[in-house]
């Protein structure tokens, strides 16, 4: 019997602190992949357009208050509700470039008092596993030069410093393909580096099944 062969798309996640340039780089990467003839689409979490997403958006905009465990589970549910679509796209050969994922979920909630990393990870266990996680590393002082914090929840520097420490803990996990990028570089330099890592990850993913996160 001929071995099963896969030609799936890759799951590429961009993570990083506030204003590191994740959205800017996701858009450029998708455009570059499409121009080189590879099917690619962008996704973002939270996806504020779904029912879960609308609850999350109101919370982030401080239009509503939600209990901390509850909002954590909503962020996770917002990913799970998109898993059937993500799998379908990946299996069709579409590379997904995702702006934030479960790592933001864990880093932000575990930065709150009384939340362990382990508890925060559990609802996201089994999500499609990223083939590449690009972490856009930016010093808080450099982030400040990119403009004021917005008015949304979590947008203050003490909280963001704790969030960065939690991301650093998550990056120690050798079962994931973390690549740390110096986000203080120019948009073009960053893009070139991100494109190189992505091309490698796409080639590797083609011959592998979709993995399960933290399992």
Q: Which residues bind ligand Z5A (CB under 6 A)?
A: 16, 18-24, 45-46, 60, 75, 99-100, 104-105, 108, 146-147, 154-155, 186-187, 190
Q: 8 or 82: whose CB is closer to ligand Z5A?
A: 82
Q: Compute the least distance from the CB of residue 176 to ligand Z5A, in Å.
A: 16
Q: 22 or 129: whose CB is closer to ligand Z5A?
A: 22
Q: Which two tokens stand for residue 137?
A: 């590393």
Longest dimension (CA), the chain: 60
Q: 8 or 43: whose CB is closer to ligand Z5A?
A: 43
- Residue labelled with tokens 């382990």: 118
Q: Compute the least distance from the CB of residue 45 to ligand Z5A, in Å.
A: 4
Q: Compute the least distance from the CB of residue 22 to ligand Z5A, in Å.
A: 4
Q: Compute the least distance from the CB of residue 53 to ligand Z5A, in Å.
A: 10
Q: In whole angstroms, how far apart are CA 186 and each of 22, 86, 121, 141? A: 13, 31, 33, 16
Q: 61 or 212: whose CB is closer to ligand Z5A?
A: 61
Cβ burial, residue 198 (10 Å; 0-12/13-18/19+) = buried
- Cα–Cα distance between 51 and 63 in angstroms, integer? 16
Picking from 2, 6, 8, the residue whose alpha carbon sits closest to that of residue 202 is 8
Q: Which two tokens stand for residue 84?
A: 């059937």
Per DSSP, helices labelled H in the chain are 22-35, 51-60, 68-80, 83-91, 102-110, 117-121, 140-144, 157-170, 187-206
- Cα–Cα distance between 151 and 206 in angstroms, integer? 42
Q: Compute the least distance from the CB of residue 36 to ligand Z5A, in Å.
A: 22
Q: Compute the least distance from the CB of residue 215 to ligand Z5A, in Å.
A: 19
Q: 7 or 54: whose CB is closer to ligand Z5A?
A: 54
Q: 88 or 157: whose CB is closer to ligand Z5A?
A: 157
């Amino acid at each position: 019997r001929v071995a099963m062969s896969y030609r799936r798309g890759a799951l590429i996640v961009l993570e990083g602190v506030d204003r590191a340039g994740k959205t800017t780089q996701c858009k450029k990467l998708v455009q570059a992949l499409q121009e080189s003839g590879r099917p690619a689409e962008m996704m973002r979490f939270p996806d504020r357009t779904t029912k879960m997403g609308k609850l999350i958006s109101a919370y982030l905009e401080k239009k509503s208050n939600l209990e901390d465990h509850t909002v954590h589970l909503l962020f996770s549910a917002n990913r799970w509700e998109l898993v059937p679509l993500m799998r379908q796209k990946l299996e069709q050969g579409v590379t997904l470039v995702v702006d934030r994922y479960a790592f933001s979920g864990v880093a932000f909630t575990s930065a709150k008092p009384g939340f362990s990393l382990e508890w925060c990870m559990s609802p996201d266990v089994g999500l499609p596993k990223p083939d590449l996680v690009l972490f856009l590393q930016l010093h808080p002082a450099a982030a400040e030069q990119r403009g004021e914090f917005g008015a949304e929840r979590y947008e203050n520097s003490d909280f963001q410093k704790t969030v960065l420490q939690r991301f650093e803990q998550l990056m120690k996990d050798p079962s994931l393909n973390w690549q740390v990028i110096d986000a203080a570089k120019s948009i073009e330099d960053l893009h070139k580096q991100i494109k190189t890592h992505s091309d490698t990850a796409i080639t590797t993913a083609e011959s592998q099944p979709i993995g399960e996160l933290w399992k």
